Amino acid sequence: MTFSELGICPEILEAIDVLGFESPSPIQEQAIPPALAGRDVVGLSHTGSGKTLAFSIPALEGIDPGLASVQVLCLVPTRELAVQICREVEKLALFLDGVSAVAIYGGASFGPQLAALHRGVQFVIGTPGRVIDLMEQGELRTEQVNTLILDEADEMLDMGFQEDIERVVAQLPASRRTLFFSATMSAPIHALIEELATEPQTIEIERPVMTVPTCEQVVYDVIFSSRIEVLSRLIEMGRMRRGLVFANTKRVVDDVVDGMLARGYAVDRLHGDMPQTLRERVMDSFRRGNLHVLVATDIAARGLDIDDVDTVVNFELPRDPEDYVHRIGRTARAGRKGRAVTFIGRRDFSLLARIERFVGTRLTREKVMTAEQVETARREALVDEILDKAAAAHELPEELRDLEVEPDKLLCAMFHLLVDKGHRELQPIPEDRPARVAAAPKSTDSPREQAPRLQESVRLFLNGGKLLHIRPKDIAGLLYNEGGAPKGSVGDIRIFAKHSLIEVSPEVAPMLCERLATCRICGYEVNLREDRGYVESPELPGEHRRRGYRENESTDYRPRRPREKRSGYREERYAGRREREEHPFSRFERRRRYR
Ligand code: AMP
CA pseudo-torsion sign 88, 89, 93, 98: negative
- Please give the CATH number for the structural domain made up of 215-371: 3.40.50.300
Give the pocket of ligand 1 (CB within 6 Å).
Answer: 21, 24-25, 28, 47-53
* Phi (first) and psi of residue 583, to 5 degrees: -125, 110
Ligand 1, atom 8, residue with closest C-alpha: 50
CA 540 from centroid of its chain's CA atoms? 42
Q: What is the pLDDT confidence band of residue 211, given thresholds at 50, 70 and 90?
A: low
> With pLDDT > 70 as the criterion, what percentage of the chain qualifies?
84
User: Which residues lie closer than 8 Å to 35 by C-beta, 6 or more apart?
Assistant: 41, 54, 55, 57, 58, 59, 177, 179
Parse the chain into domains and list their residue ranges: 3-204, 215-371, 447-534
- Per-position DSSP letters for 261-283, written without gaps between them: HHTT--EEEE-TTS-HHHHHHHH
Q: Quick one: fold of 3-204?
A: Rossmann fold (3.40.50)
CATH architecture group of domain 447-534: 2-Layer Sandwich (3.30)
Pocket test for ligand 1, best of 2, 16, 25 (most atoms within 8 A of CB): 25
Ligand 1 center–CA 26 separation, angstroms: 11
In the prediction, which pLDDT does 208 show? 64
Q: Which helix (H) or strand (E) holds 544?
A: helix 542-547
pLDDT of 114 over the 60 cut = yes
Q: From the CA of 182, how far away is ligand 1's center (Å)?
A: 16
- Amino acid 546 reads R
Ligand 1 atom nearest the C-alpha of 19 is 12
* Structure confidence by residue, pLDDT tens digits, 462-498: 988 888 888 888 899 899 888 888 888 888 888 887 8
3-class DSSP state of 197: coil
**pTM: predicted TM-score of the whole model, two decimal places:** 0.49
Q: Which atom of ligand 1 is the closest one to the Cα of 25?
A: 19
In angstroms, rounded to a whole number, what is the distance separating the alpha carbons of residues 349 and 441? 25
DSSP per-residue codes, 477-506: HIIIIIS-PPTT-EEEEEE-SS-EEEEE-T
Mean pLDDT in the chain? 82
Domains 3-204 and 215-371 share a fold: yes
Nearest protein CA to atom 7 of ligand 1, as residue = 48
Of 122, 161, 314, 303, the closest CA to residue 230 belongs to 314
- pLDDT-based confidence at 303, cuts 50/70/90? low
User: How far apart (Å, rounded) are the C-alpha atoms in residues 220 and 413?
Assistant: 37
Over the stretch 233-265, which tens digit does the pLDDT of each residue have? 999 888 898 999 999 989 999 999 999 999 899
Contacts of residue 89, defined as CB under 8 A and 6 or more positions apart, other chains included, come to: 56, 60, 101, 123, 125
